Amino acid sequence: MALSQPAFTLPRLYSIFFLTIEPLSALAGAYYAHVHPVTYLSLTHSQVSSTSSPLSTMPSPGSPLPLSTTIALTQLANLYLLFALNEALVLRSTADLRVWRTLLFGLLLADFGHLWSVKALGTGVYWRAWEWNCMAWGNVGFVYVGAAMRMCFLSGVGMGGRGGEKEK
């Protein structure tokens, strides 16, 4: 499959982030959600050390999970894989700025949904970075970075010209 060059100027930071860093991060999420589901769940719940959530009865690593939880985590892993493929392959395969904007807008909405999904951990999960573990850095910190990158791209920051389109 021949990959086309964008018909717009794509700054190196966007290229590195959207075509490499973020897809690899999504693959890591897919791997942990599917291959290490108990660890994934334990780290997700313990991401804020001072949480007093009623969900504090998570199984310890090595404990069996309910079948429904295993299925849901495998479905989550599948969505992470889709996320990675959309960025790594779809964005690489098109030179159409409209496609880039559409896909990145959809992912921005997903960022907000992802952030909303951890609200049960308390509002501190959104700003107490000193309490975050590796999962919180992925679930909150990295999502902040991804959302900021998407908002910058969609706003034309660093794109030059008329919203990033090459002058003819």
- Predicted confidence at residue 137, as pLDDT, reads 95
Q: Which residue has the higher pLDDT, 46 or 102?
A: 102
In a domain, 66, yes or no: yes
The total number of structural domains that make up the chain: 1
Q: Would you say residue 104 has pLDDT above 50?
A: yes
Residue 12 burial by CB count (10 A; 0-12/13-18/19+): exposed, middle or buried?
Answer: exposed
In a domain, 61, yes or no: yes
In a domain, 5, yes or no: no
> In terms of residue numbers, what domain contains 131?
12-47+57-155
In a domain, 165, yes or no: no
Q: Which two tokens stand for residue 6?
A: 């964008």
In a domain, 16, yes or no: yes
Query: Whole-angstrom Cα distance, residue 33 to residue 4?
Result: 33
What confidence tier does 168 reach under pLDDT thresholds 50, 70, 90? very low
In a domain, 4, yes or no: no
State pTM to two decimals: 0.82
Q: Which residue has the higher pLDDT, 48 or 99?
A: 99
- 37 touches 76 (CB < 8 A): no
In a domain, 163, yes or no: no
Q: Which residue has the higher pLDDT, 60 or 70?
A: 70
Mean pLDDT of the chain: 86
Q: Identify the top-confidence range among 92-96, 109-113, 161-165.
A: 109-113
In a domain, 168, yes or no: no
